[in-house]
Homo-oligomer: A and B are copies of this chain.
Amino acid sequence: MYTVKQIANLAGVSIRTLHYYDEITLLAPTTIGENGYRYYDDAALFRLQQILFYRELGLELRQIRGILDNPEFELIAALQSHRRVISGRINRLQTLITTIDRTIRHIKGEEPMSNKQIFGGFNEEQEKRYTEEAAKLYGEERVRKSVNLWNSYTAEKKAQIKAEGSAIYLDLVAAMPGGPTSAETQAILARWHQHLRYFYEPHVEILRSLGQMYNQSPEFIANFEALHPDLPPFLEAAISHYCDTL
């Protein structure tokens, strides 16, 4: 058992940070003494390590909580994902160093430089945000399990499920004029939510990242655009709102 100060010193965070993480239920102390003091054990230590990794990668604390509290969370897979992201970040910093060297040579008049090159490493993969990588982690995991479940159905059942899915998306297209937050749209999303249970147990964070993928992943976009050109962004907005009210 460790006190706040011991944890703070070990991990290099402030006591206030631990208080805050407790307040937002991101990292609750293992036990609380009758004096009101917070005490942490080794498991809490590992959880804090995970938190710091995700924080380092720029994720918001709410997202981190969602990831760590997810029953599907797998520590080792997460660590391996961290590895990839950090490697990517190292590459980015090396790009910055290249930019620096180039800028220096440019200032010395040894080499011309384009306006875009001035910001090499800053803007490049701006939208390829690290969040995506975290979502990918879900994705792989989710897809793997979903295939198992799907294969357990009979051919007849499979056809029935597919038909139900198509109907839902068609209904959503019909509901588009009302807007993504309309009661009608949200009601259909409740059906969609139920429908997903044929594939896996849909956790809130999964729904959310699914909504994003619907408007980002090329395969999904192609699929939904076939139904209506504006369906992908509509779906993302609608699902986001649906998750908020969950």
Contact = CB atoms under 8 A, between A and B. Distances in A.
Interface of A: 9-12, 42, 45-46, 49, 52-53, 56, 75-76, 79-80, 82-83, 86-87, 89-90, 93-94, 96-97, 100-101, 103-104, 107-108, 115-116, 118-119, 122-124, 126
B86 A97 contact: yes
A116 B86 contact: no
B96 A86 contact: yes
A176 to B, nearest CB: 28
A104 B80 contact: yes
Nearest to A81: B100
Given A115-B45, A123-B12, A79 B103 contact: yes
A90 B94 contact: yes
Given A107-B75, A115-B10, A87 B97 contact: yes
Contacts of A42: 115
Contacts of A96: 53, 56, 82, 86
A119 B48 CA distance: 9
- This chain: copies in complex: 2
Contacts of A97: 83, 86-87
A42 B87 CA distance: 33
28 contacts: A10-B115, A10-B123, A11-B119, A11-B122, A11-B123, A12-B119, A12-B123, A12-B124, A42-B115, A49-B103, A49-B122, A52-B119, A53-B96, A53-B100, A56-B96, A56-B122, A75-B107, A76-B104, A76-B108, A79-B103, A80-B100, A86-B93, A86-B96, A86-B97, A86-B100, A87-B97, A90-B93, A93-B93
A118 to B, nearest CB: 5
Contacts of A124: 12
Given A52-B122, A79-B103, A93-B93, 15 more contacts: A10-B116, A10-B118, A11-B122, A11-B123, A12-B122, A12-B124, A49-B119, A53-B100, A76-B104, A76-B108, A80-B104, A83-B100, A86-B96, A89-B93, A90-B94
